[in-house]
Structure 1
Amino acid sequence: MIRKIFSLLVLLVSFCSCDTDDEKAISDFELAKAKWEKLQFNDYTIQENTSCFCGGLLEWTTKVINNEKDTVYFDDSKLYKGQTYQMVLDGAKTIEEAFDFIEQFDVTTVYSFDAVYDEQFGFPKSIFIDYVENMADDEIVYLYSNFTPTK
């Protein structure tokens, strides 16, 4: 009987002590996504910035209607080498698409991956990817700000 209780305690302690950063990140993701889904924002605008050592337009505002990209607003003078409005629209992410990107990203293929979520609404505020340790200029950051519900 004592042996069974001891085995049960060891098993319980091992489950309680295995809270890794990956599990915390999953938990943060799930909490944020649940918060976002509970609020049921279908119509909004959000600004997206991409920070990287890459070419192209790196900042725009996306208007979302019924959870679908409707329009992107940006400075036309910053289009890069043949970029078009359609290319920017295709590259812009709704908040649901940002969540999908985070959920589907294979974090085992990069050195570091981190997402930070808005405390009030749950949407991703930033997604940071560092592809190779100690390599300069391979990082990319997606920033989401100026969230405004439109209905």
Structure 2
Amino acid sequence: ALCARAMLGNSPTLCGALVAMATLFVLEFGFGRLHAVMSMRSHRAAGRARAWAVMIDGRARPDALRHVGLTAERLHERLRAGGVRHLDDVALAVLEPRGTLTVVRRGESIDPQLLVGIAGLPPGFGDVDTTGGR
């Protein structure tokens, strides 16, 4: 209430409130865009501008998690949000360059061409179908 009173002055008017709100929205948008740009630059500068396999065959890969700056707890949170109920259901989890998590569930197949450029995959991973046991 004190901030609103300070922005609007002694006698608040609708026009003054609209100007104050528009200013706040513009600042919020501007700082949000600045944060997004700076975040992408820092990821690229740190060599994180590629997709990383952070989980294979239901097991998190600590080296990949460390490289992308993701904790096991945060990975589990993202898996739960993606509908994963058992870690053993995950054949492959890939953290994409923009921060989204792609999950290939056990029993699903994936085209080997879609695995090109993913860091942290074991040699020959794209040759094996996730529908069979490895």
User: Normalised by the size of structure 2, how large is the TM-score?
Assistant: 0.29
The one of the two structures with greater contact order (alpha-carbon pairs below 8 A, sep at least 6) is 1
Q: Flag the structure with larger Rg.
A: 2
Select the structure that is richer in helix: 2
Select the structure that is richer in strand: 1
